Chain A
Amino acid sequence: KAGVTQTPRYLIKTRGQQVTLSCSPISGHRSVSWYQQTPGQGLQFLFEYFSETQRNKGNFPGRFSGRQFSNSRSEMNVSTLELGDSALYLCASSFRGANTEAFFGQGTRLTVV
């Protein structure tokens, strides 16, 4: 069974640009959550999607947005990139309602220069 797939693995962008990251959950999982990991702030929740609807949102500016497609794949977008957006972005998928495991992808490491 394939795991959570995040693309791309690495990305270098310039300040002011925008970026789109992709996450394909485990087959059968319909819930996708996104996290930002930085050395200073640790792991912080960005947002959660289920059935193509955003169900929960963390404390991030509106430059951070996301969406989920009918096949449960999710994308997150960051517009007008800032140096502080440099981070590891992790996506997690889970089987809604099972109250059990959440599995993460390998992450996308974004560097803003």
Chain B
Amino acid sequence: AQKITQTQPGMFVQEKEAVTLDCTYDTSDQSYGLFWYKQPSSGEMIFLIYQGSYDEQNATEGRYSLNFQKARKSANLVISASQLGDSAMYFCAMREGRVSNFGNEKLTFGTGTRLTIIP
């Protein structure tokens, strides 16, 4: 089974509108972290936002917020007031278990959503 599922291969959104990118995950661990990254055509993976499984509040970072619904195992990214520069691939990722000295930094990524902002 896929651990991270992103069901929207591509999205077109009008500039200044809000956009929600879907992400569902599958894990049996109680402790895990969820990440969203943006990858422009240059290839660099830009960290956007992080949500820990024990965090009670939804994470927010500027125009980005993460709609974390633990019971549904969903971690959707919301971008408010979209801008032309938001056009890129967006990846949802998960780190399972608690980080320890025995190693656990591995991220599992979804297949991504290509977001295109239309002027």
Contacts and interface: CB of A to CB of B under 8 A. Distances in A.
Chain A partners chain B = yes
Instruction: Bin chain B's interface residue count.
Output: 20 to 34
The binding surface of chain A is classed by DSSP as: strand
A102 B35 contact: yes
Interface residues of A, number: 29
A112 B106 CA distance: 26
Interface stretch (B13-21, B22-30, B36-44, B72-80): B36-44
A102 B105 contact: yes
12 contacts: A42-B109, A45-B108, A50-B103, A55-B104, A56-B104, A90-B45, A94-B105, A97-B99, A99-B33, A99-B99, A102-B95, A106-B44
Given A43-B109, A102-B35, A107-B43, 6 more contacts: A48-B106, A92-B105, A92-B107, A96-B105, A99-B52, A102-B105
